[in-house]
Structures are given as C-alpha cells and as structure tokens.
Chain A
C-alpha cells in the first residue's frame, strides 16, 4: 500500500487499540495471554451477533530482512533452512535456486540430479510425517475420537505396532540420505550456486537404490492404509466432501513441460474453479501475476491473482483467490510425472467427480499420491548413471544483482527473492511461504466454520475443533522454532463485536 494509505491505516489502528485498551477493563475476558507464533484467528461480529468476517493471520517471522542485510547471499541456504524446522530442505532449495539466478548459472546435470534426489527424499519424508502425525490423527484415528487418542500413539494403535515401526524406520533412513549429502538435516550444507557440494560415490549407490525401492513400497502401503481406513469409512468420506470444507477457488502449482506435477522446477500454472488454465508463468515473473491486498482493521496480507483484481473473499468462476499445496498441485496439473502416482491421480479424480476437486480435506489424499511420485522419482534418479558423476558443480563468474528461487514445498509454492550488491552481500531479502499464498482461502474456510457456529453472539461448543480441522487441512506453517514437536497446532481465536472491541478469546494447543 502507498505511504498515505499506510499512515491512515496505522492511525486508525492506533485509535482502535486505544479504544480497545480503554474498553477492555469493562469486559469479561477469558484470561489468556496473547502469544506470538500461533495461528491467530480474528472473528468480527455484526450488530446482530452473527459473523460478519473472519480472518486467519499467519504469524510472520519478525526481522527476516533485517537479519539478512549485509550477509553473503551464499549463506542464505543455511540461514533460511534454520528458520523453519518443519521445512528446512524446502527453504534450502529455494534459496539455492535463488543463488543460481543471482549468479546467472545453471547447475551441472549431476548437480541438478543430486538436488532433485535430496528434494524428493525430503518431500516423501515430510509428507509421511504429516500423514501419520499431523493429519493422520484426524483421519486414521477419527475426528470424533477423544483428543487424548488423536496423536501418533493413537495412529499406531490403529495401524499396528509393526506398521508404526515401519513409518519411524523409513523416515530415519530417508533422513540419513539427506544427511549424506548435506551433513545435517536441519542445517544442510548441500546447495551451491551452480550445483551441490558433495557427489554421490559409486560404492554408496546400492544402499540408496535399495532405499528407493523400499520408499516406493512404503508409499504404496501408505496409500493402501489411507484407502482402507479413510476411504473405506463412509463417515470420513462424508466429512471430506461436506460443504463446510469446500471452496471454489483457483489453484496454483508447479508443472513440468508436459503440465505434470513438479516439485523441484518448472513453470507455475494457475487453473480456475472449473479447471481452465488462467495463466502459466515463469517463477521469476511472479510479481506480474500475483499481487497483495492488505485488509483494513487487521495486519493481514492476502495474495490474489492480479489479472482478476481483489474482489473480497468470494469464490466462483471469477474469483482471484487461489490455493497452493497438494490438492492445488493435482488440480493445476494434467497428471503426475510418474506411473504409479498417475494411476492414483486418475483414481482420485474419478472418485471425487472430476478435476478440479474443491474439498480442502482432500489435501490429505493428494498428499499420499504425491508421496508416490516422490518415491518413484527417487528410484528413477538412483538408477540414472549420471547420479554418481563427480561433476556436481560449476563455478559462477557473473556479478550478482538479483535472483528468485521457487520450489513446491510440501505445503505449497515457496518463493525466495534476493538482491545483492556487486560483492554478493544481501541488500534485500524477501520470501513468500506457502501459507502466505493460502491465507485468503484459509480465511474463507475459517469464516464458513465460524458462521455456522456463532449466531446472535452465542458461540457453540466445538467452534475451536471445527476451525482447527479446516485450518489443519492446509497444514499451515506457523514459523515455529525448530524443535517444536509436530502434532500440535496452537490456535488463538479472538471474537470482536461490531465496534471491533474484544469480546472473547479462546485458545488451545
């Protein structure tokens, strides 16, 4: 927004905050401390006590640009991978690709293949984590089960101990592969402009080929578990296809030259709610296609399709709101890039009535299909003779100035954008995380849930649970510290009256 608008907005906010502070003393509020780093949901009621508007705020990591200023751009793959303990490899790879662009250099073929090998291993491992630990508890154990059972322990209770051991052991082996190339999973030293830092030795290849085969078996087994336990249960299917979790927005995902789902590299493609291509662009041209809207009375930014303009939180054929993530990727592409995944993709759309699918909870199923592609790709790469080539890096010679790197992180499209001086020191650093792209649709999901459960100022029981279900399906990144145990979505819900004064706060871990 421009300076005059910004000033007006800030002054309005200051007045509002002062009014709130004055009025707060007279209101009964649940004594909850407002904390950062949580999913924050603000619900505004109209003068009838019904929901007028609801927002989901992505807590922003503070100080990213300031922290990066003056640092060598070549440090960014390590720095950004340390910010997010859930997606370190995604940030590492986006940063590495930004360095390629910055130094106007492409990786060597073997360098690119090693990057892809590590990246697909990470996608598989992270998706597995989500299926069994984050999303799994809702679906494998059941959304109606008591909270004490809705965790990995409950999941293992359902699938059996041997199955549980298989999940844990497979994840460990996948992380070992990543560590082979990058040293440490959370602080990898893998990506360089022009390639990678370490080659794959021929004598080490057989164990990775074996892991690759096991990975495909593991992904197929996960799909089977999902089909049996989730799709085999009509209650779950009803929940997945229920209107409460359905929105007709656009979808954005990365695709290869044949418009098949791609995680590491490609063009960005957007389809509308009827599946027609709206635009397809190179990631570096992102700003020509995606714009940001700042909503008054909040600190939230929502991305939308520039060519459609901002039209408030509406869905339908003209909407400029788009989603990213596993479901969006499957919707935006014409198919998967590997055979087993493609078969699963076809079955997915056949079961759910054709492409695009608008049920947010179908993200869980799409995630399992992506696990298959990741595993199959690992097999392809470990069987590629070039993977053991020692030519894993070329040295850049260009003077750096600006570069953008984009990958599909597990949760959706991730952008890193840097500018440097001629010595390669950062003068500007910005990133848009997956959840930033999903913010508008998440807000719509939250609003829909809230509208059903808050009437005449009365809040129904189960509001938090319903909102959390919708929220969790997007698997939002909350910028938490690296050692957060997965499985917990700290949520803070604030309800405001039509004067924007705080009425109630609800929270859960």
Chain B
C-alpha cells in the first residue's frame, strides 16, 4: 500500500437503481463535499460487493461505512451507528453488513493490514427492492442529517491519526 493512501476511508455502499438501496451512495456524495480538503480522509462510493470490501479497507487505519439496512424496528430514515460486532445483534434479517467482522478476520488471516477502527452508519430504509432511481421520502430527507453525523465521526477519526488510544471503534 503506498504511503499516500489516506488513513481514513469513508465508503458508501449501495445500488443506485434499487430505490432506497441508493442511500449510502447519496450520503457519501454529500459527505465528500464537506471533506474535500481533508488530507487524511478519502471518500468513496461503491456498488461492489463481498470480497471487494476487503480490497477497499485494507491498508486503512479507520473505516466508516455507510449503507442501507432494513431491520423493520425503526422508522425509515433512522440512522443506526454501529461497530462491526454490533451488527449481528441489531440486524436480524438484513443481508447487508453481516460479513464486515468476518471480512476483517479474513483479512487478518491473509496477512493484510486491517483497520483498527470501523464505524458503520446503517440507515433504515423502506424499500430497497423495487427498481427505481428515486428514494422514498423519509429516506431522502434523512440524507443531510446522516451525512452530517458521518462527517463528524470521520473528522474525529482523522484527528486521532497516529495517536495511541484513538476514538473507540
């Protein structure tokens, strides 16, 4: 990994033609505007899945993931903030994110440098399964506030770069 790789990665996951499943992509688009001048933070969006996550997070000190989730136990637009081990408890039947902890363990087994801190912002959605490019209203309206929270967390992690006992992840 080149030394110039920013230590913090903010990664939005989603599918832009599956209605609310695009929310992660929309949130990071807003986040990118606010963090454009931060040298330690890189903001990306991806529609890739599975093992591609491993490639993205390898070599980073901290990672912030943003994605859609459907727990059915919160109102659409609600933002869950989690560590990688919280997911199994909160997300009973969503197929998203269940492998983040597993991915990190895999990366470590393969001798890849895995992030010290991982935060996940999982936005509760109403409909991630109908084809469409327009999100449902409650989810659309949540983008701004979710982006603001991601920006705060990313800046916290950036300010702790290289320091021991950084922000808990």
Contacts and interface: CB of A to CB of B under 8 A. Distances in A.
Contacts of A369: none
Interface stretch (A7-15, A29-37, A47-55): A29-37
B98 A481 contact: no
B131 A37 contact: no
Interface residues of A, number: 49
Contact of A63 (B48, B49, B105, B132): B132
A86 B106 CA distance: 20
Interface string A55-91: 0000101111011000000000001001101100000
B46 interface: yes
Contacts of A129: 50-51
11 contacts: A37-B128, A79-B17, A133-B50, A164-B109, A168-B51, A481-B14, A483-B47, A483-B49, A484-B49, A485-B103, A490-B94
A509 interface: yes
Interface in A225-261: none
Interface string A436-451: 0000000000000000
B98 A488 contact: yes
B62 interface: no
Interface string A26-48: 00000011111110000000000
B169 interface: no
Given A35-B93, A483-B96, A509-B95, 11 more contacts: A59-B129, A67-B132, A82-B17, A129-B51, A156-B106, A164-B106, A168-B110, A483-B15, A486-B99, A488-B95, A490-B93
A481 B93 contact: no
A133 B99 CA distance: 11
B4 interface: no
Interface string B121-140: 00000001111100000000
Interface in A457-509: 478-488, 490, 492, 507, 509
A37 B49 contact: no
Contacts of B51: 129, 133, 168, 171
Interface of A: 32-38, 59, 61-64, 66-67, 79, 82-83, 85-86, 129, 133, 151-153, 156, 161, 164-165, 168, 171-172, 185-187, 478-488, 490, 492, 507, 509
Contacts of B94: 35, 490, 509
Nearest to A85: B49
B15 A485 contact: no
What secondary structure prevails in chain A residues at the interface with B? Answer: loop
Nearest to A151: B102
Nearest to A64: B131
B161 interface: no
Contacts of A152: 102, 106
B99 A83 contact: no
A484 B95 contact: yes
Residue from A33, A187, A484 having most chain B Cβ neighbours under 10 A:
A484
B110 A164 contact: yes
Contacts of B73: 33
B interface residue count range (under 10 / 10 to 19 / 20 to 34 / 35 or more): 35 or more
B110 A63 contact: no
Contacts, number: 146
B32 to A, nearest CB: 18
Residue from A35, A61, A156, A482 having most chain B Cβ neighbours under 10 A:
A482
B93 A33 contact: yes
A507 B94 CA distance: 11
Given A63-B132, A67-B131, A507-B93, A483 B110 contact: no
B96 A481 contact: yes
Contact of B14 (A62, A66, A483): A483
Contacts of A486: 49-50, 99
A185 B50 CA distance: 13
4 closest Cβ pairs, A-B complex: A33-B72, A485-B99, A67-B131, A62-B130
A6 B132 CA distance: 27
Interface string B10-23: 00011111100100
B120 to A, nearest CB: 13
Contacts of B132: 63, 67
A212 B46 CA distance: 28
Interface in B67-122: 67-68, 70-73, 88, 91-100, 102-103, 105-106, 109-111
